[in-house]
A = this chain, B = another copy of it.
Amino acid sequence: MGQLTGGDPSLLRRINSAVVLRALRDTDCATLTEITRATGLSRPTVEGVVEGLAEAGLVVERAAEEGTARRQGRPARRFRFRAEAGHLLGLEIGAHRVVAVVSDLDGRVLGTQTRDVDEKAPADERLERLRGTVAELLRRTGVPRGSLRAVGVGTPGIVEADGTVRLGTALPQWTGLHLGERLSRSFRCPVLVENDANVAAVAEHWQGAAKDTDDVVFVLAGLSPGAGSLIGGRLHRGHGGAAGEIGALHLLGREATPEALLSTTDEPLPPLDEQAVTEVFALAREGDGSALAAVERFIQRLVHDVAALVLALDPELVVVGGWAAGLDGVLDPLRRELARYCLRPPAVALSLLGEAVVATGALRLALDHVERQLFAVEGAVGA
């Protein structure tokens, strides 16, 4: 492209590296001739770029790696992308547990570690628990901490772009916590913090129920409801990171909190007590009248929240997740109501990733970050 001829040579080198690396990742392994053909770069450029990538440890020669002597007649050297050259972490910080998952640069998961945590645990204790979980995971999988290239984190609450929790009522001492900064002390790589419903949407798009669409709303149903959405395949955070905070929607009407809706007595359930919720759902399944009424109230509220999101965003698909118990009973009323209000009602599906959804989405965030560094060409060019 002409307009970059006189441009920044280091930018050009970076773009060429990304192009070569992407070509290598997309094949099992390739010769210099094949790379030249796939990229349109000149042979000397490809040789220089591959040499640089090999020095950086991102590319390795196949023959050298296998220790086999090259046959006579100088057969073509073959190179491959070293997905093991770096690693990524996906972390979930929840009310009742913390989860860590580690992968290589291809996103291939090498191990997962979960630990329970008290829902009343103060922030320091929760973070310490998370650190211990990560340490155990790295030890168990043999991944050196220095090999980590990026860490993604999913947490309840509204998260600022800098990783500060602007509001987080689901976890003690969470509002105002400089979560990104606190976690950064444990890692030498970037730490990316995001709302849990948002990363869940990312996860379902990557590996779950939303693989086939770029326009999806993920609804985290539960006592602290929230939603995340992808628009055109990209996470929609909103101007202040608060998009999809439908938990406040019920304040608009005369409706009460999930704890009040799900109560079978005059008193609301204890705040964020998911065990109590599970019991109500279990009672309802057994046919208990007041439990059935409570579940019905809760479902109506959920349907209202989701319908508002759907009218605002018009997604192709709504994925419901967040609670293992009882959620399947939500799908049919949801489909029925959405069909009433929407001309082209979105498909409605249950989360396919279940309990892994937040950590998986956090891992994908980390992977996105690294891929932008290694493979991105877009944005580098522009007039």
Contact = CB atoms under 8 A, between A and B. Distances in A.
A171 B315 CA distance: 26
A4 interface: yes
Contacts of A253: 253, 304
A289 to B, nearest CB: 25
A212 to B, nearest CB: 12
28 contacts: A1-B4, A1-B381, A2-B16, A2-B40, A3-B16, A3-B40, A166-B344, A167-B343, A215-B239, A238-B313, A239-B344, A240-B314, A240-B316, A240-B343, A240-B344, A243-B313, A244-B311, A249-B307, A249-B341, A252-B304, A252-B308, A253-B253, A308-B308, A308-B311, A308-B312, A309-B312, A312-B313, A378-B382
Interface of A: 1-7, 12, 15-16, 18-19, 22-23, 39-42, 45, 158, 166-167, 213, 215, 227, 229, 231, 236-246, 248-249, 251-253, 304, 307-309, 311-316, 340-344, 346, 377-378, 381-383
A26 to B, nearest CB: 10
Nearest to A11: B1
B246 A45 contact: no
Work out how many copies of this chain go into the complex: 2
A18 B3 CA distance: 11
Contacts of A41: 2-3, 5
A166 B1 CA distance: 43
Identify which of A22, A227, A243, A311 gathers the most chain B CB atoms within 10 Å of its CB: A311
Contacts of A3: 15-16, 19, 39-41
Contact of A312 (B7, B16, B243, B342): B243
Given A240-B316, A249-B311, 13 more contacts: A3-B19, A5-B41, A6-B40, A166-B344, A227-B312, A240-B344, A242-B314, A242-B344, A244-B314, A246-B311, A248-B341, A308-B308, A313-B313
Nearest to A45: B2
A215 B238 contact: yes
Contact of A343 (B7, B23, B158, B309): B158
Contact of A42 (B2, B18, B236, B343): B2
Nearest to A314: B238
Q: Max chain B CB contacts within 10 Å: which of A19, A167, A229?
A: A19
Contacts of A15: 1-3
A5 B40 contact: yes
Taking each of A3, A231, A242, A309, which has the highest tally of chain B beta carbons within 10 Å of its own beta carbon? A3
A105 B253 CA distance: 48
A383 B378 CA distance: 8
B249 A308 contact: yes
B242 A342 contact: yes
Contacts of A243: 312-314
| A2, A23, A381, most chain B CB atoms within 10 A | A2
A304 B252 CA distance: 6
Nearest to A344: B240
A7 B311 contact: no
Nearest to A46: B2
A343 to B, nearest CB: 5
A242 B343 contact: yes
A302 B299 CA distance: 25
Nearest to A309: B312
Contacts of A315: 238-239
A383 B39 contact: yes
